[in-house]
A and B are shown apart, each in its own frame.
Chain A
């Protein structure tokens, strides 16, 4: 993982250093995990549950995103997801659809960086 890649991630708000510490310094592994993050279908599940009006289901999916993103230092994503989890936890769905789209935007931004450096 070169410095340019790391700096680009830092620039969009990813806590690269903490995350690399968590994978005991294995930068290669961190790169792989970032790619794996996009294999996860939780964001799609979240969207589906919201359109079904299933708040508990939406909460579970958002919660999963929050956990994984937290572990990977994706503070940029959790900036949106964490407040969303709280709203869902309270049993509300207010403004959540919009937040899902903001999350999607954060995903896309991250994906662009990954594609540029790890593609």
Chain B
């Protein structure tokens, strides 16, 4: 179908759409229009010819409509309801919805269903949507027809699969050369009708659909009700118009329960010659095609294809083999190290499961975890992995080797286990493991499902000394609620951010704010999925504390993790010091204004090193000799909060600086930390005599600097407060 017969009417000039609106209904026999909505009024921007016909609008009236609120076209009783519906729709995340209303102000009997879809672009600064209208048949019409066809009074289409398949065989034998299509109609939420409207309505609905399928399909094929909410059929391929069929079903549903929308979906399978002998598997394929789109809110028709077939085969072998695989210990724990972004030491690892299949090789978790979740098998696997991890930690402990905390996944289903926390404590007790070495990762989506239950689980786990990590943070819509309500130990930032931040400024801003927020709440962050140096640099620059990803290490065996720990295992102590420095910085600068530190050193390399370390926390200024430093303190009267001072400088050395600074008003109270060589005790003593507050030996450790700087700043703050 082309546009012939329909005319497209231009949008109002002031809307100036950037490109030609294109809506699917230009090629569908339905009234369609694009509206902009400002929260109160609706503005018609574009419509096709059928829209006018459908709503009885004369062409010369359309100038009236486009100037005014399009909601005026709706029956007065339905207007405020539609307005509220649109507001909800635009504040929600859904991209499509539908609503029922009466369009014609003076006619109570004409009901329309509008399927609405969010428009990608704004129009005239307002959000916009496409609406596709179809008129619901008057309820009376179908009821009359039902009465006229008494033979269908008790008929809802139910036949046994056996009989139905026999019927199909006979049907195909009659004209074996024709092309056939097998179909499966899914009516999601049909069961809800029983609960909401009672059995009588449900039966009426089933009869309505049966009647409809009888009318539409019987001359060209066969149909049957397969189970509670699916119908199946086989018809001549050329006789089926899937869209028209769905449209008729929508009408039939609407005529029985106009207030509640049940979405019908269609799975189709184009039958081959040999399928004539095995109609059951043809119907099964149609059903698989249907299942493939069952949770898809947009697609309503799905054709069976090889991908669907493969998914089903995989699913089957996974389900049939999982128990055996479990017994044969084919599930193996792999570990992905997590590194500190600053020290690059290995500070933790995540335990991940791999299925080492004797014939199929390594099956990636994405292939089997979702199925295990559906089958409930995941809970068994999770506990198994937790125990394997405990054994690993115990083994290292027994051999006197260092241990890092290991995080394990806690699936959604685990959280429903009333014995969950007892099982976990049982494991750590059995293997004599410190609870702090086992960490649990809970995903944001698990939290969203039932925040209160998860809060309780987190509370108990933490009481017992376990750490809890929020996994996939930022992937859902509850991130802020989590930060507000959940006493979480570590935030794992969703890998989606890593993919976006370097190219998407918005994502980068969001991530920056999240990290600032977590810092204020003293929650360390791990970022997952870091694969390139660019991503690593970026994430570290943003202030992420630790990194997990291919850039450092892939998930690998327990042996490999042990090697990593031996090579570059770090202790938590380092991050504690950093956390202290960070806390101090935040405490000293509650409104975000940073303290200023002056670095005095004649060697540019040394200045750069110190600046690099400190500028995450402080404002940094530099001077390359003592004289310049004195000048800077005078110029910045009162705004230099601490001095890091090198002693050996060619002109005006550290001692000269101290002498002059201490004699000057603004310089006399500034904390000065002297950097001395490890071998020169006499310099240390001399520096203290000259009025230095503290000294740090070179070559220094970053943590020492952060700690001592934070200490001096804190001390100075306290002294000042006391003096006031």
> A residues within 8 Å of B by Cβ?
17, 20-29, 33, 36-37, 40, 60, 63-64, 66-68, 70-72, 85-86, 89
B698 close to A25 (CB less than 8 A): no
Q: Range of interface residues on chain B? A: 20 to 34
Partner of A24, one of B342, B568, B603, B606: B342
Query: Which chain A positions have C-beta within 8 A of B616?
Result: 24
Considering only CB atoms, which chain B residue lies closest to A75 in the complex?
Answer: B699
Q: Is B650 part of the contact surface with A, judged by Cβ < 8 Å? A: yes
Query: Which chain A positions have C-beta within 8 A of B441?
Result: none
Query: Which chain A positions have C-beta within 8 A of B612?
Result: 23-24, 26, 29
Give Cα A37–Cα B679 distance, bound, in whole angstroms.
23
| A107 nearest CB across to chain B (Å) | 15
Known: A36-B608, A63-B648. 19 other contacts (CB 8 A): A17-B568, A21-B342, A21-B343, A21-B702, A22-B699, A23-B612, A25-B344, A33-B609, A37-B605, A40-B605, A60-B648, A63-B677, A67-B606, A67-B646, A67-B698, A67-B699, A68-B603, A68-B606, A89-B679
B648 close to A72 (CB less than 8 A): no
6 closest A-B pairs (Cβ-Cβ)? A70-B699, A24-B342, A68-B605, A21-B343, A33-B605, A68-B603
Give Cα A20–Cα B339 distance, bound, in whole angstroms.
14
Query: Which chain A positions have C-beta within 8 A of B613?
Result: 22-24
B604 close to A36 (CB less than 8 A): yes
Give Cα A85–Cα B677 distance, bound, in whole angstroms.
11
A25 close to B648 (CB less than 8 A): no
Give Cα A40–Cα B719 distance, bound, in whole angstroms.
41
Most B CB within 10 A of own CB, among A26, A29, A64, A86: A64
Give Cα A66–Cα B679 distance, bound, in whole angstroms.
11
Query: Which chain A positions have C-beta within 8 A of B533?
Result: 27
User: Given that A21-B343, A25-B540, A70-B699 are contacting pairs, would A60 and B650 also be in contact in the complex, using a CB cutoff of 8 Å?
Assistant: yes
Considering only CB atoms, which chain A residue lies closest to B705 in the complex?
Answer: A22
A72 close to B344 (CB less than 8 A): no
Considering only CB atoms, which chain A residue lies closest to B675 in the complex?
Answer: A67
Q: Is B602 part of the contact surface with A, judged by Cβ < 8 Å? A: yes
Q: Is B378 part of the contact surface with A, judged by Cβ < 8 Å? A: no
A20 close to B605 (CB less than 8 A): no
Considering only CB atoms, which chain A residue lies closest to B609 in the complex?
Answer: A71
Q: Is B408 part of the contact surface with A, judged by Cβ < 8 Å? A: no
Most B CB within 10 A of own CB, among A22, A24, A28, A72: A24
Question: Can you list 30 contacts pairing A with B, beta carbon distance less than 8 Å?
Answer: A17-B344, A17-B568, A21-B342, A21-B344, A21-B702, A22-B609, A22-B613, A22-B702, A23-B609, A23-B612, A24-B702, A25-B341, A26-B612, A27-B533, A28-B537, A36-B604, A36-B605, A37-B605, A40-B605, A60-B650, A64-B602, A66-B677, A67-B603, A67-B606, A67-B648, A67-B699, A70-B698, A71-B605, A71-B606, A89-B679
Query: Which chain B positions have C-beta within 8 A of A40?
Result: 603, 605
CB 8 Å contact bits of B699-717 with A (1 = contact, 0 = none): 1001000000000000000
Query: Which chain B positions have C-beta within 8 A of A85?
Result: 679
Query: Which chain B positions have C-beta within 8 A of A25?
Result: 341-344, 540
Give Cα A37–Cα B604 distance, bound, in whole angstroms.
9
B677 close to A20 (CB less than 8 A): no
Give Cα A50–Cα B602 distance, bound, in whole angstroms.
21
Which chain B residues numbered 666 to 713 have a C-beta less than 8 Å away from chain A? Answer: 677, 679, 698-699, 702
Considering only CB atoms, which chain B residue lies closest to A34 in the complex?
Answer: B605
CB 8 Å contact bits of B634-661 with A (1 = contact, 0 = none): 0000000000001010100000000000
Give Cα A67–Cα B342 distance, bound, in whole angstroms.
22
Give Cα A109–Cα B603 distance, bound, in whole angstroms.
22
B699 close to A71 (CB less than 8 A): yes
| B436 nearest CB across to chain A (Å) | 25
Query: Which chain A positions have C-beta within 8 A of B540?
Result: 24-25
Query: Which chain A positions have C-beta within 8 A of B604?
Result: 36
Which chain B residues numbered 230 to 285 have a C-beta less than 8 Å away from chain A? Answer: none
Give Cα A63–Cα B680 distance, bound, in whole angstroms.
11
| B203 nearest CB across to chain A (Å) | 69
B677 close to A64 (CB less than 8 A): no
Which chain B residues numbered 559 to 589 have a C-beta less than 8 Å away from chain A? Answer: 568
Give Cα A72–Cα B616 distance, bound, in whole angstroms.
20
Most B CB within 10 A of own CB, among A23, A25, A36, A60: A25
| A6 nearest CB across to chain B (Å) | 12
Considering only CB atoms, which chain A residue lies closest to B602 in the complex?
Answer: A64
Query: Which chain B positions have C-beta within 8 A of A70?
Result: 698-699
A64 close to B648 (CB less than 8 A): yes
Give Cα A67–Cα B602 distance, bound, in whole angstroms.
11
A71 close to B677 (CB less than 8 A): no
Give Cα A39–Cα B650 distance, bound, in whole angstroms.
17
Most B CB within 10 A of own CB, among A17, A20, A67: A67
Query: Which chain B positions have C-beta within 8 A of A23?
Result: 609, 612-613
Considering only CB atoms, which chain B residue lies closest to A66 in the complex?
Answer: B677
CB 8 Å contact bits of B602-633 with A (1 = contact, 0 = none): 11111011001100100000000000000000
Give Cα A23–Cα B500 distance, bound, in whole angstroms.
27
Query: Which chain A positions have C-beta within 8 A of B699?
Result: 22, 67, 70-71
Give Cα A6–Cα B242 distance, bound, in whole angstroms.
64
Query: Which chain B positions have C-beta within 8 A of A68?
Result: 603, 605-606
Query: Which chain B positions have C-beta within 8 A of A26?
Result: 537, 612
Considering only CB atoms, which chain A residue lies closest to B541 in the complex?
Answer: A26
Most A CB within 10 A of own CB, among B342, B604, B605: B605
Give Cα A60–Cα B683 distance, bound, in whole angstroms.
13
Give Cα A55–Cα B341 distance, bound, in whole angstroms.
44
Give Cα A40–Cα B602 distance, bound, in whole angstroms.
11
Query: Which chain B positions have C-beta within 8 A of A72?
Result: 605
Query: Which chain A positions have C-beta within 8 A of B603?
Result: 40, 64, 67-68
A20 close to B344 (CB less than 8 A): yes
Considering only CB atoms, which chain B residue lies closest to A86 in the complex?
Answer: B679
Give Cα A72–Cα B606 distance, bound, in whole angstroms.
9
| A98 nearest CB across to chain B (Å) | 22
Give Cα A71–Cα B616 distance, bound, in whole angstroms.
19
Query: Which chain A positions have C-beta within 8 A of B344?
Result: 17, 20-21, 25
Considering only CB atoms, which chain A residue lies closest to B342 in the complex?
Answer: A24
Give Cα A37–Cα B606 distance, bound, in whole angstroms.
10
Give Cα A80–Cα B273 distance, bound, in whole angstroms.
87
Give Cα A72–Cα B613 distance, bound, in whole angstroms.
14
